[in-house]
Amino acid sequence: MNNDVFTFLVGGKAGEGVKKAGSVASHIFSSMGRHVFQMDDYMSLIRGGHNFSVISTAHRWISSHYMKANLVVNFDKRSCETHVNDIAENGIMIFNSDEQELENGIGIPLTSEAEKYPMKNLMFGVGAVAILAATIGFEKEEMNQIIKDEYPRGIENNIEFASTIYDIVYPDCGNKFFLEKGDRERPIITGNEAISLGAIAGGLDVYYGYPMTPASTILHTLAREAENFGLAVVHAESEIAVINMAIGSAFTGARAMVGTSGGGFALMTEGLSLAGITEAPVLIILSQRPGPATGVPTYTEQADLAFALSAGHGDFLRIVASPTTVREAYYLTAEMLDLVWKFQTPGILLTEKHLSESSMTVEIDLEKSKWAEPKMYKDGNYKRYQDKDDGISPMLFPPSKKIIKWNSYEHDELGITTEDAKKISFMHDKRNKKLETLIDYLKEQQIVKIIRGENNSNIFTYGSTYMSVLEALRCGSLNPTTVAPIYLNPLPIWELKEFKNQDNIVIEQSSTGQFTKLLKEKAGLNVRNTIKKYDGRPFDPLELSMKIKEVLE
Amino acid sequence: MNNDVFTFLVGGKAGEGVKKAGSVASHIFSSMGRHVFQMDDYMSLIRGGHNFSVISTAHRWISSHYMKANLVVNFDKRSCETHVNDIAENGIMIFNSDEQELENGIGIPLTSEAEKYPMKNLMFGVGAVAILAATIGFEKEEMNQIIKDEYPRGIENNIEFASTIYDIVYPDCGNKFFLEKGDRERPIITGNEAISLGAIAGGLDVYYGYPMTPASTILHTLAREAENFGLAVVHAESEIAVINMAIGSAFTGARAMVGTSGGGFALMTEGLSLAGITEAPVLIILSQRPGPATGVPTYTEQADLAFALSAGHGDFLRIVASPTTVREAYYLTAEMLDLVWKFQTPGILLTEKHLSESSMTVEIDLEKSKWAEPKMYKDGNYKRYQDKDDGISPMLFPPSKKIIKWNSYEHDELGITTEDAKKISFMHDKRNKKLETLIDYLKEQQIVKIIRGENNSNIFTYGSTYMSVLEALRCGSLNPTTVAPIYLNPLPIWELKEFKNQDNIVIEQSSTGQFTKLLKEKAGLNVRNTIKKYDGRPFDPLELSMKIKEVLE
Amino acid sequence: MEDLKTGAEITWCPGCGNFGIFTAIRNAIPILEEKGIKRENVVITAGIGCHAKIFDYLNLSGIYGLHGRNCSNSEGIKIANPDLKVINFSGDANGLAEGLTHTMFAAKRNQDITFILHNNSVYALTTGQFSPLAEKGWKGPSTPRGSYEEPFNPMSLMIEAGATFVARSFAGDIKHLTDIMVQGVEHEGFSFIEVLQPAVPYHKWAEYRERVEYLEKEPETYFEAIKAAKEKHKFTIGVFYRTTRPVYHKELYDDHNPVTQKISREIRLDKIRKFLSDK
Amino acid sequence: MEDLKTGAEITWCPGCGNFGIFTAIRNAIPILEEKGIKRENVVITAGIGCHAKIFDYLNLSGIYGLHGRNCSNSEGIKIANPDLKVINFSGDANGLAEGLTHTMFAAKRNQDITFILHNNSVYALTTGQFSPLAEKGWKGPSTPRGSYEEPFNPMSLMIEAGATFVARSFAGDIKHLTDIMVQGVEHEGFSFIEVLQPAVPYHKWAEYRERVEYLEKEPETYFEAIKAAKEKHKFTIGVFYRTTRPVYHKELYDDHNPVTQKISREIRLDKIRKFLSDK
Ligand SMILES: Cc1ncc(C[n+]2csc(CCOP(=O)(O)OP(=O)(O)O)c2C)c(N)n1
Ligand SMILES: Cc1ncc(C[n+]2csc(CCOP(=O)(O)OP(=O)(O)O)c2C)c(N)n1
Ligand code: SF4
Ligand code: SF4
Ligand SMILES: [Mg+2]
Ligand SMILES: [Mg+2]
C-alpha cells in the first residue's frame, strides 16, 4: 500500500447522502491543500440499493481513487458486506451498530442517534463527516464550520448530531490518521464540470441535451449557468432533435454543443452525417457507459470507440479526441470547439463515466484555453462551399444579403443540390482536403502524452484509463514509457511511429480490445498484451499495478 | 470495343417510360437466350429531367452495362446532348427530329407521331422498342407480340404506332445488327428482387421498411408478394420503428428483415445495439447511395462500409456481408438470415444502388438456398441467456409457460437486469464467444471469391464493383487474380493471408478508400494502388479496363 | 411464482407509485385468466426509466427495450403473432417524448395492445427533469428556472391520435386500476391507460389523494370525450373514450398468423420458381 | 434575383401543386418586407421530399435538412438568433411520420416559426407510398392492397399539440395561400399551415378545385376550432385556430440573443474563475 495516500470510503443507500458526504470529505482534504480524487459508485435507482464514494488524497497529484481505504464508513449492512475486503492494512471500518454486530470494526448507533432528529434520513452523511473529522484530528470547531457550510438546512441539529458522533468515535480512533497539509487549496471539479467550463471558455452559445447518464450533468451544470453566461440551454424531446437543433444553431454562427451517451449518440449519427455534408461545426460529447444498448447506465466502459470513429454514413471527417484527465477535459473541450469551427466538421469528445463523474482537484490556467473562431468570409462573391486549397470555405451567417445555403444533398459551391457526376466528385474532393489540413495543424500541437520511462516496454492507454494507469505505475513503482494519444481521429501515427516494433502493452476498458485494434491496425503497432477491464468498474491502481507487473515480467 | 456485346441505350424524361422500354429490350434479349445486364440511371424526381437505361447483352454471362452503345435512342434534346459521346464505333443514334436536327444520327418525328394518339406520353417507349426490333431484324409479327405482352393498355394504338416507327427506321438501319441466339431463356431480376426472393427462400416471415432509395423496391416487392407467401410487410412511421418492430417480431420467432439506405441505417444503430445485447436475430439490408446525409439518392457509392462494420454502441458481433452479383444476392440473403438466427446477433447485408436496382439474367438453383433455423431449447431449466461453450443460448418463443426475457440492460442468464461486476464481464464474455464460433463456421464456407489469373498482381474488390471488375477484365483481356471477400465482418483474413505481401490493387467506390483501409488495416495487405470512383456512377468496363491496365503496367 | 413475481431485487423507492401498478397488474392477470386469456399468451414490454423496472419484477415473458422504443417492440410482437396479448409499460418521457411518434402511430393503427403510461410527470430515473406531462414552471435539474412548456393532455392527445380505449387511473386506487387494466386488455384495439403515479422524491401522495376524482359518467361521443378530457382536471380518473374500429393486424391479414401458419420451404420454393419463370 | 428565384433547374412535375406554394411564398415575402420584416432576416428550412426542392429554387438562406428533421433545424435557428424569421417547409411524411415528434414539440413549445405542410397525402418523391394523411385504402407501392390506417387530421392534431395559429390553404388559390402565409409569419408563435397540394401523378386538380371550400367563419374558441377541424371536410380552407401564449425563446431568455449579445471571452473567464474559486 502506498502510504502517501489516504483513502476514505463511505457507503450506504441512495438517498442517504453518501455522495454528498464524499464530496464534503474531498473538500476537507482540498482545504488542507492536498490533492484529491473522488470516485462515486452508484446504481441506476433513486432510493435504496448500495452507493459508495471513495476519496483518495495525497500530498502530490493523485489521479485515481484506491479501493483499499484507510477509513471506511458504512451506513448499512449491505455496505459492510460489500466493502469487507476494501479495508487497507491498519485501516478502520466504522459500521452502523443498529443494523448489525461485527468483530472487526467500530460500531456506532447511527440509526438510533439519527432518529432523534426530524430529518433523520439526512443525518448519516453528517455523521460520516464527523467520523472523518475525528479520525484525522480536526477540532470540533473546525468540523462545525464545515458542517455549517456544507449542510445549511437544519444547522443546529446537524452540529449537535455531528458532535455526538464525534464524541462516540473519538475515544477509539480520534486523531488516528495524520494528514500532512499541502501548499494551497485547489478547486475540485468533476469531468463534466470541466467539460462544461471548457465549452464556455471556448465560446459556447447553445447547448442541447436529452438526459442520459453519464452525460446528464453537463446539461444540468450548463442549465444552471445559462443565465450567468448568456447561453441557451435546452432539454429537447430526443437526441435526434438535439443534434438537428445544434446544427440549426450553428447555421446562425452560434457555437453549439450537445452531450449524450452511447444510445443517444447512436440516434445522432444521421445528424452527424448531416454535419459532415453541410460542414456544420458541432461538438458532441459522448460519455461512455457499458453497452450494448441500455447496458449498465451508471458505470464505466470504453467500448464506443470504434463506433465513434466511423459513425454516420458516407465519407466525411469526424474529429475524435478523448481527454485523459479532468483538467485536460477543460482544455480539450475548448480546443475541440475551436477545431470544429476551424474545420467546419463534426467533432466528438469521447469520454467515460469514470472521467465525467469523478472529481478531482485541478489547477487550470484559464488563459490557455482556446476560443472558437471560424475563418470568416471577407468580400467578393459569397459561396457557402467555395473550393479552397485547404478545403475550408469561409463562413457567413444570417442575417445577410448574401445567400447562405447549407445542404444535406450533394451540392455545388453555392449549396444548390446537384446530381452531376463531376460536381459530386468535386465536392467529395473538396471536403476530403480538410483531413490533410487538419493533420498539418495537429502536427504542430502536442496531441499525444508521452512520459518517457526506463523499462523496455511501453504502455499505451487513453481516456480516463490514463489516470488509472499513472496511479498504478506510481503505486507499483513501475517505470515504463506511457503513451496516451489524445486525438483518436486523426490518430497521430506520426508520433507513434517510433514505438511500432517495440514491446507494447495496451490498457483499456473494452472487452474486445477496441483501442488495441486501433493501434495495431491504424498505427501498425506491435502489441504484445492487452490488459482489459469490462465489468463496469474503473481499474483500481493496486490491482492494475500487479497486472502490469505480471505482464512486464 | 468488345464485339461479343451489343448495347442498347434509351434516354428521355422521367415519366416517358424510359426504364420500361429498357426492360422490354432486356426481355427481348433474354428471350433470344442471351445474357443481359441493365443499368437504369435516373434522377431524384418524378417527371422530367433526364433518365436513361443501358442494356448490354452477350452470348455469354455479362456482368455490366457498357456506356458505349451500339444503338442509342433519345426521346429528347437533353438526352442527345448527354449521350453524344456514348455511341460505339459503328453504332447509331436515333433522335427525336421534332426536337432538333442532328448530323450524326437518324431523326424520327417521335413527338408528332405520338401526338396522333390519346396516350401520347406513353408512346415513346413503344417507339424505342420498335426501333430496337427493326434494327436487330425482328419481324413485325414478333415485335407486335412483344408490344402486346408488355404494353397491355391501348394495344391497338401501340401496335399501330410501333409499326409506323418500324417502317420509318427500317430503310436506314433495319436489320443492321445481328444478334446470335443463345441456348435458353433466363429470368431477369434486379438485385432487390434477388434479395427479396432470397429472404423468402430463407424463411422470412415479416419485413418492415420505410421508403428510402435504393432499398424501397425491396419493400415494394415484398408488399406485392406478402399475400402469396403469407408474410407481414409493413411500411412503418420511421426507421427507428422499423428496427424495433423487427426485434419485437424476432422475439416471437418470426424471421424478420428490414431494409434501408445510409440515413435510415444511421437511425437504426441504436436498435442494432439492442439486437446485440438482446441477441436478437435481425437482418438489415443496407443499400448504399452517395453520402453523407441525403447525398445523391438515386446513384451509387460504397462509402458506408466503415460505418456498417462498427455501427451501434458497445461491444457486440455484427455480421456484415456484401453480395458481388445479383445471383449471389439471392443466396447470401438466405444465408445471412440463417446466420443471424444461428448466431443470434444482428447482420447487415451491405449492397449498393448499382446492385439493388440493376437487373440481369440469372440462373439460380433454388434448392441450394439456406433455411434459417435457430438452435432450439429442448428441456430442463430455460434460461434465455444460458452460457454455452459456443456462446449460443438455445431459443424458445412465446407462448410458453417458461419465462423468456430479452433485456436491453446488461443481464444475468435469466435475462434479469444486473449491475454486478462479475455478471457484467461474464455476459460480455458469453457474447464475445460467438465470434470464434462464427469464424470456425465460416472457415468451412466459401466466403471469398478468388479467380486465379496469370498476372503478378491481384485485384481486390467487393460488392457490385466485382461485377464491373469482371467485365472490365474480360473486355480488356486482362488476367490478374481477382479476390472479392463476401464477408467483411468477420473479414476472412485466413483466406487473404497468402496475398499479404503481393502486389495488390484495390478497386472500390469510396473517395476515402474505405475498403482499401480495411484490407490494409485488418488483413495487413500491401496495397499498391486504389482505383476509386465516387461520382455516383458505376464503373464503365471499358474505362475501368484502361485504368487497370495503366496500374498494372 | 404464483404471485407473478420474479426473484429480482426491487429497487423502486419505498412508497413509489409503481408498487401500486405492480400490484394491480398482478391482480389483473388472474382475472384475465378467468376470462380465458392464457397467462403464457401475455407478453410485456417496457422502455427505460423507473416504470420499466416492472419488467424485471413481473414474472412474464417479454422485451425490456430501448428508452422510447418499446411501443415498436410491442407492435412487432403483435404483428408477428397476433395470438399474443401485449401489455406495454411506458414512462411519460419514454412514451411521450423520445417515443411520441411510435405511441401516436400505434394509436393511429389501432394496434391491439395495451399501453400503460406511468405518469409521474418527470424523468424519474434520470433524477427528475421536467417531462412532457410536467406542469409549466416545473423546476428540475435541466430547468432550474422552471420549465417553459405546457404539458400535453394525454387523454385528448390519444383520442386525437386514434386510440380506441382511453382511460386514466391512479396508482393509489388498486381496485380502479386493476379494473381499468382488465378492460384495457380485453378491449380489442389500442388501449391507452394513463396511471397517475406519484414519485416520492418529487411529489406527495397526499396531494394526489386529495385531488383524485372519478369521472361521473363515461362520455358517449367523441365530443363528450374531448370535453371531458379538456375540462376535467388532470386528477380525474375513469374511462374517457371507448370506440371500435378495425385492428391493425386483422387489416393486415385477416386471421392469418405468420408465425403459427408459416408457409413451408417447399411451397415457398415452388412459388419462387413460378415468380422467376414470369420474369 | 428580385423575384426570389435561384438559377436552379426546377424538377417538379409540370402541374405540380408545389408551383403554387412557390409562387405564394414569393408573393408573401415582399408583402412581409413592406410590413417591416427584412428579407435577410427570413431564413428557410426544408426536409427531404418533393416539397423540399423549394429550398433550391427560393433565393433565401437556410438549411436543407434531413428527412423529417428540419423542424429541429428551425428551432435551433430561432433559439440561437431570435431576430431571424424561420419558415419551415415540410412534406406530410417529413413532418407527420419521420418527424412527427419534432412537429408536435415545436407546437407544444409555441416556437415562433412558420411551418408549411405540403399536404399531397403521399410520399411523392419516393414514388407514391401512402402517407400519414393518405385516405385509408390508398394503394401505393408499399400498400398494394390499400393502406390500413386512418389519416391524421392535421388541423385538430396541431391544435391539440399546442400550435397557436392553425390554418389550411390550397396550392391552387394563390391569393388565399399568400394571405395565410403572411398571417402565419406575422403571427408570434407556432404557425401551422397545411397546404392542399395536388401531386399530378397521384391526384387530379379538378377534384381539388371542385371540393375546396372556404371556412365561413374563423372559429373563436378552442371547441369551435376543434369542431370545425373535425366536422368540416378536409378540403375546407381558412384559419381554424388562432390564439396567443408566450413563445419559447422569450421564455428561455426574454430579450437576450445569444448570438448578437455574446458575452466576451474576458468576462467568461472571470466568471469561470469565480465558479472555480467556489469549488
Ligand atoms: C436514447 C436514450 N436516451 C436517454 C436515456 C436515458 N434515460 C433513461 S430513463 C430516462 C427517462 C425516464 O423517464 P420516464 O420515461 O418518464 O420514466 P420514469 O423514470 O419517470 O418512470 C432517460 C432519459 C436512454 N436510456 N436512452
Ligand atoms: C431517414 C430517411 N428515410 C427515408 C428517406 C427517403 N425519403 C426521401 S423523401 C421521402 C418521403 C417524402 O414524402 P413527403 O415528406 O410527404 O414529401 P413529398 O415528396 O410528398 O413532398 C422519403 C421517405 C430519407 N431521405 N431519409
Ligand atoms: S424516483 Fe419516483 S418513479 Fe422512481 S422509484 Fe422513486 S418514487 Fe418510483
Ligand atoms: S410527384 Fe407530385 S409532389 Fe412531386 S413533383 Fe410531381 S406533382 Fe409535385
Ligand atoms: Mg416519468
Ligand atoms: Mg407528401
How many residues belong to chain D? 279
- Å from A140 to nearest chain C CA? 33
- Which residues fall within 8 angstroms of residue C27, CB to CB, at 6 or more apart? C174, C178
Q: Which of A229, A397, A409 sits opposite D64 (nearest CB)?
A: A409
Most B CBs within 10 A among A313, A509, A516, hence the mutation to make, goes to A313
Question: How high is the pLDDT of residue A143?
Answer: 96
Share of chain D above pLDDT 90, in %: 97
Question: How high is the pLDDT of residue D3?
Answer: 86
**Where along chain A do its domains lie?**
5-173, 189-368, 448-552
Q: Cβ of A235 and C14 within 8 Å?
A: no
Check: CB of residue A442 under 8 Å from CB of residue A492: yes
Using CA atoms, how far residue D31 sits from A393, C210, D44, D60, D183, in Å, is 34, 55, 17, 15, 10
Check: CB of residue C60 under 8 Å from CB of residue C134: no
- Å from C229 to nearest chain B CA? 27
- Distance, CA D92 to ligand 6 centroid (Å)? 5
The answer as to CATH 3.40.920.10 being correct for domain B5-173 is yes
Please list the ranges in chain C whose pLDDT falls under 50.
Answer: 1
How far is the C-alpha of B337 from the C-alpha of B259, rounded, in Å?
13
Measure CA A111 to chain center. Answer: 35
Q: Which of A235, A263, A293 sits opposite C142 (nearest CB)?
A: A235
CA nearest D252 in C: which residue? Answer: C148
The closest alpha carbon to A168, from A215, A114, A214, belongs to: A114
Q: Cβ of A254 and D259 within 8 Å?
A: yes
- Å from D201 to nearest chain C CA? 26
Check: CB of residue B515 under 8 Å from CB of residue B506: yes
Report the pLDDT averaged over residues D122-129: 97
Name the CATH topology of C2-277. Rossmann fold (3.40.50)
pLDDT tens string B55-77:
999 999 999 999 999 999 999 99
Question: How high is the pLDDT of residue C2?
Answer: 61
Cis preceding-peptide flag for B399 (omega within 30 of 0): yes
Atom of ligand 3 nearest to the CA of C51: 3
**What is the residue with the minimal CA distance to atom 5 of ligand 3?**
C12
**Interface list for C 146-205 with B (CB within 8 A):** none
Any idea which ligand is nearest the CA of D17? 4
The closest alpha carbon to A23, from A65, A61, A59, A79, belongs to: A65
Q: Per-residue confidence of chain A (553 residues) as pLDDT tens digits?
A: 457 999 999 999 999 999 999 999 999 999 999 999 999 999 999 999 999 999 999 999 999 999 999 999 999 999 999 999 999 999 999 999 999 998 889 999 999 999 999 988 889 999 999 999 999 999 999 999 999 999 999 999 999 999 999 999 999 999 999 999 999 999 999 999 999 999 999 999 999 999 999 999 999 999 999 999 999 999 999 999 999 999 999 999 999 999 999 999 999 999 999 999 999 999 999 999 999 999 999 999 999 999 999 999 999 999 999 999 999 999 999 999 999 999 999 999 999 999 999 999 999 999 999 999 999 999 999 999 999 999 999 999 999 999 999 999 999 999 999 999 999 999 999 999 999 999 999 999 999 999 999 988 999 999 999 999 999 999 999 999 999 999 999 999 999 999 999 999 999 999 999 999 999 999 999 999 999 999 999 999 999 999 999 999 8
Helices marked H in B107-256 — which ranges?
110-114, 123-135, 140-150, 155-173, 191-202, 216-229, 239-251
Residue with cell 399501453: C115
Whole-angstrom distance between the N-terminal and C-terminal Cα of chain D? 57
What is the model's pTM? Answer: 0.98
Ligand 2 pocket residues where CB is under 6 Å: B 210-212, 239, 263-264, 267, 294; D 47-51, 67, 91-94, 118, 120, 122-126, 131
Name the CATH topology of B189-368. Rossmann fold (3.40.50)
**D1: pLDDT strictly greater than 50:** no
The answer as to CATH 2.40.10.10 being correct for domain B448-552 is no
Local confidence band at D2 (pLDDT 50, 70, 90 cut-offs): low
Matching fold, domains A5-173 and A448-552: no
How far is the C-alpha of A278 from the C-alpha of A346, rounded, in Å?
10
CA nearest C98 in D: which residue? Answer: D101
**B288: pLDDT strictly greater than 50:** yes
Any idea which ligand is nearest the CA of C48? 1
How far is the C-alpha of D145 from the C-alpha of A385, rounded, in Å?
46
Phi, psi angles (nearest 5°) of residue B516: -60, -45
Question: How high is the pLDDT of residue A1?
Answer: 42
Count chain C–chain D contacts defined by CB atoms under 8 A.
59
- Distance, CA C149 to ligand 2 centroid (Å)? 29
**B122: pLDDT strictly greater than 90:** no
The closest alpha carbon to A467, from A367, A359, A347, belongs to: A359
The closest alpha carbon to A203, from A371, A87, A43, belongs to: A371
Check: CB of residue A68 under 8 Å from CB of residue A475: no
Q: Helix or strand or coil: residue D207?
A: helix
- Distance, CA C69 to ligand 1 centroid (Å)? 11
**D217: pLDDT strictly greater than 70:** yes
Residue A29 sits at the chain D interface (C-beta within 8 Å)? no
**Interface list for D 80-139 with C (CB within 8 A):** 97, 100-101, 104-105, 108-110, 132
Residue with cell 442471351: B34
Whole-complex ipTM: 0.98
Chain C residues near residue B225 by CB distance under 8 angstroms: 275
- Å from C90 to nearest chain D CA? 16
Angle between helices D100-108 and D154-161 (to 10 degrees): 50
Count chain B–chain C contacts defined by CB atoms under 8 A.
184
Report the pLDDT averaged over residues B367-392: 97
